[in-house]
Amino acid sequence: MIQETLQAFSALEQFDLYYRTLCAVLFNFAQSGHPGGSISSGKIVSSLLFGGMKYNFMNPEQPEADLLVYAAGHKALGLYAMWAARDEMIRVGSPELLPENFSRRLRLEDLLGFRRNPTQNTPLFNQFSVKALDGHPTPLTPFVKIATGASGVGVPMAFGLAFGALKYYDPNAPIVNVLEGEGGMTPGIVQEALAAAASANLWNVVLHVDWNNASIDSDCVCREGKKRGDYVQWDPVKLLRVHGWKVFFVPEDADWAQITTAQQDAVTHSQKKRQPSAIVYRTEKGRKYGISGRKSHGAGHKFCSPEYYAALEEFEKTFQVQFPHSDGKGLTPVEKEQLNWDTLLIFRQVADEHPELSHFVSNKVAESATLLQQTNRKPWQIGTTSLESLYHSNGTIEATEIPPSLKLKPGTKTTLRGELGNTLAYLNKRLDGPIVVGAADLLDSTSVSLINEGFPNGFFNAVTNPDSQLVAVGGICEYALGAFMAGLSAYGHHIGVTASYAAFIAALEHVPARLHCIGQQARFKYSGEAYRTFIMVCGHAGLLTGEDGPTHADPQALQLLQENFPPGMLITLTPWDPQELWPLTVAGLKARPAMLAPFVTRPAEVVLDREKLGLPPATAAISGIYQFRVANPQKEPYHGSIIIQGSAVAYEFLTYVLPRMDENGYRMNVYYVSSLELFNLLPLEEQQRILSEARQLEVMGISDFTMPTLYRLVTSQFGRSHSLCAGDFYPGSGSASMVLQEMGLDGPSLLSAIQQYVLDREVSKQF
């Protein structure tokens, strides 16, 4: 047994040399990337992959497998080197383990695509069908579930994945190993996530901290002993303990026994004590590379320099090989690619000539699959209904069929936020709990607490309250909350919901939303599966929150999201009528966006009688744009077109303006925008039928939000100059009616502007 252990440690040391040298080569031919942190984390990762992680190399998508998440996305160079080195060893040692589909592998050949664009057109790139490997990890790479790299976001997203695994598989949940550095722990979002994981007892998280104490600008990021840190005055061990984590420490220059023992002990502790664990490894950034510390963070040796070749010498001497040499001058892209491949072929040669190393890796990978099978992980009772029953409901859940319990009686009062909460609560009960919600200390205020009806009260805790659908992420922490719920949604069995003031959440969750969308785009390209939706509830939206003043009643929030993502990625909803929440929410979910962002207001509104007002039913909202009034431009008199977006101005228009327009005989086309993205998803012919180009040229806009949110629809300078929006200045505080009056969006102001538009249109004769 002792002899086998020593042989294993010797093989791991050889593999680490193989890996470190591959990192040096990767940087050399890309001349970008992060070699230092990739190298310093190598022993951490190889010990995990070949020392107890439960995963199936043949099936990267096996849902119950343990995960390794590179929250430190800048270590992508290392991820690719590690994946390719593992694949190369298996090619020799156990080729039967290799997935038949190349997309499920990351081969040595694919390293030719590091930081290359998919449009690369060099001979070998095409010949080998090389993957274009992004500068930071995305799910285009097998075993990668989320996109990481934006400062701090990877940690809470990884914790969200762990939460999803815990919700679905507890009490035998997969372990989610999260790799981060001390520099990546300095953002506040990480500390918010650490607090959340401990408070919820996310025991299936093991955080691996590569503490090399070097970042881009500093060689002393953290305090260490009596030496003050440049950035923070904690060290990772103390920081984690403050937040309630069990911490294991591995000192610098630790041997393999210390590393593997710490990793085994962390998992054992987590499973027994139901507490998240962390291992802090004191490492050297750029170990044995020739450049260490901060200078190796985002830079390395110059292309084909003597220093670069010096970094390869240990590998050459150990394995008795010789890399091809070049001074690198004057090489064409084709010649450079060939030199890159000739260099990579030396690694293939070593794998072929050292079967003992290849077989060690292959055997350990095979053992991982066996260990996974032995866990016999199965879903447990809460939240296990497939979301496919929502997306393919065979007519039982349809946007056009409002459930009887959600139908509203005209004349009653309710809120947009409340009806959104009721809609999601209905879906959650119907689907047995796949919707999980968190808010920035605003669960009741934004009405998303309704989603937990029928489930245990209080916040989720893996030990004391595992059935709750409410999760707390650090308190008033929209940023971490968004990343956490994006990770939960990305895991694939739940829809994460976040809620706060639109003024805050649209901005603070923009980065997590973007990374989630990038990850879902990559995942679609990788597997062809539909996007996994994360819901951002933009509550207390717009001017109706006027008593809170300009810091909270922000009309610009919609502008940050609407049409600000690739088509189909993010859908905003802008209902005016509480009756529109069911059809819009269900239609939005069935469109399968990566993000759904409903904008809902705070005050209670009277449910208007749509039939009495001559309006189409609430289900008309699912087209994204529908008409309050229809007029034929070919019949006189014809007075033009109006397009409206926003609950506040819609109520002002319908209750004050429309009766007076009817009295005065105005014949106008009046449109409402319930979701510009749903409208954009319609076939072009249908879009033109609803709102033709001719109408877009003549229409004036009225919006609770800013003018840019109507640019897609109000296309003429004439129409824009007559439009009324809320973004000309920041409003003062006061009741909703006073703020609308201040902004010129109250009923009398709207009527006056429409009258002026009609007059000017007749005078101009442009339309």
Q: What is the mean pLDDT of the chain?
A: 95
Reduced to 3 states (helix: H, G, I; strand: E, B; else coil), residue 371 is helix
The model's confidence at residue 151, banded by pLDDT at 50, 70 and 90, is confident
User: Backbone phi, then psi, for 341, in 5-degree steps?
Assistant: -65, -40
Q: How confident is the model at residue 383 (pLDDT cuts 50, 70, 90)?
A: very low
Torsion sign, CA atoms 60, 66, 71, 77: negative
Position 38 scores a pLDDT of: 95
Q: How many CB atoms lie within 10 A of CB 127?
A: 11
The Cα 179–Cα 43 span in angstroms is: 12
| DSSP H helical ranges for 379-472 | 388-391, 416-430
pLDDT band at 2 (very low <50, low <70, confident <90, very high): low
Band of the pLDDT at 727, cuts 50, 70, 90?
confident
Does the pLDDT value for residue 8 go beyond 80? yes
Q: Quick one: pLDDT at residue 195? A: 97
The model's pLDDT over 606-665, given as tens digits with 9 standing for 90+, comes to 999 999 999 999 999 999 999 999 999 999 999 999 999 999 999 999 999 999 999 999
If you search the block for the tokens 């996530």, which residue do you land on? 193
**pTM score of the predicted model:** 0.96
pLDDT, residue 1, reads 57
- DSSP H or E stretch at residue 716: none
pLDDT at site 7: 83
Six-digit token string for 484: 């956490």
pLDDT of 681 over the 60 cut: yes
Beta strands at 625-629 and 669-673: parallel, antiparallel or unpaired: antiparallel
Question: Residue 102: pLDDT band by 50, 70, 90 thresholds?
Answer: confident
Evaluate whether 667 touches 676 at the Cβ level (below 8 Å): no
Tens digits of per-residue pLDDT, 156-171? 999 999 999 999 998 8
What residue has token string 């959600």? 406
| pLDDT tens per residue across span 283-325 | 999 999 999 999 999 899 999 999 999 999 999 999 999 999 9
- The string of pLDDT tens digits covering residues 561-597 is 999 999 999 999 999 999 999 999 999 999 999 999 9
Question: Please, which residues have CB within 8 angstroms of residue 763's CB and are 6 or more apart in sequence?
Answer: none
Task: Look up residue 739 and give its two tokens.
Answer: 């703020």
pLDDT higher than 50, residue 760: yes
All structural domains of the chain = 2-375 (3.40.50.970), 388-598 (3.40.50.970), 626-764 (3.40.50.920)
In the predicted structure, residue 396 carries a pLDDT above the cut 90 = no
**Rounded distance between C-alpha atoms, residue 177 and residue 47, angstroms:** 12
The per-residue pLDDT for range 420-478, each reduced to its tens digit, is 999 999 999 999 899 999 999 999 999 999 999 999 999 999 999 999 999 999 999 99
Strand partners, 227: 224
Judge whether residue 395 has pLDDT over 80.
no
pLDDT band at 3 (very low <50, low <70, confident <90, very high): low
Helix extents (H) in 643-716: 647-652, 658-663, 676-681, 684-690, 693-698
Residue 72 identity: A
In sequence order, what DSSP letters do the residues of 431-452 get, joined into one string? TTS-EEEEESS-TTTTTGGGGG
